[in-house]
Amino acid sequence: MLGRANFVALVGGGRNPKYAPNKVIIWDDAKQKAVISLEFHSTVKAARLSRTRIVVVLTGHVHVYQFSSPPTRLHIFETYDNPGGLVAMSARTLVFPGRTPGHVQLCDLSSGNISIIPAHTSPLAAITISAQGDLVATASEKGTIIRLYAAQNCSLVTELRRGIDKATIYSLSISPSSHRLAVTSDKNTMHVFELPARGTPQSPSSRPSSAMSNGLVGGDNRRWSLLGKLPLLPKYFSSEWSAAQQMFDGGGRAVAGWVSEDAVVVCSIGGMNGQGEPRWEKFVLVEALGGIGVELLREGWRRYLDND
């Protein structure tokens, strides 16, 4: 959906799709009709809209169009195999997988120029870009490390550790003012990380972090920070741990999105064979007991599909 405008990008899916899965339909809700149709030779994996661009993601390519009627194709970019349709967009920058596993391409939407970030050595699982377009967050299929980069010069800002065991990262979401990052995974857990000042690279051990055990900023994680300053120790000890974490109850893939700087919603699609229901859950960040750090509290939830 294009912000709060009346345009919605639709792609067919499910058992009885209304539209073909190789088409993108731009629906004008004010006119209650389709106003643009784009057809491709393979299944569409994702679509994004801005006020000036239509972006369509296929398994191995990203197509960029001028948002006009009829639309004009501006660019085609080749990517590594991208079955999940990974893509993120700010007003000026488009982010998508590179042609090498683990690499990220940043496209300047005005000029079409491309910058490359060699973010990981294994294929990407999730990417996002901040609303201001200044920060890019990435995670690989290993799911243990999230890396944060400055979009302006592709430099590493900090490295964040979700955990020590492998996980499938479902989503990454940067808060409206770029101060926090929310991460959801197949562990049915959301982690929230405090981010450094925008565009300011820093060592992961240069500020206090949260304890891995309870998700609060406290003494246990300061111990990791001190150990990270010692030579010859594994990189594990210097990684930045989350400021807070909380389990969510919805099943299946779950996507996080910020509604304010202190509130985030997790929307779950529901698991296979009844393993968890589709629901949205709202969490708020509050000061932890004792005034040290923050914690995540569930403020409300609702089931949004009736399967009966």
* pLDDT, tens digit, 9 for 90 and up, residues 244-265: 999 998 888 999 999 999 999 9
CA 178 to each of CA 96, 129, 133, 268: distance values in angstroms, whole numbers, following the listed order = 20, 10, 10, 24
Quote the pLDDT of residue 270.
81
- Averaged pLDDT for residues 267-294: 83
pLDDT at 277: 83
Cβ distance 76 to 63 under 8 Å? yes
User: How do residues 53-100 score in pLDDT, each as one tens digit?
Assistant: 999 999 999 999 999 989 999 999 999 999 999 999 999 999 999 999
Compute CA distances 94 → 50, 53, 113, 121, whole Å: 10, 10, 10, 21
pLDDT averaged over every residue in the chain: 86
Digit-coded pLDDT (tens) for 145-170 = 999 999 999 999 999 999 889 999 99
DSSP-derived pairing of the beta strands 114-118 and 103-108? antiparallel
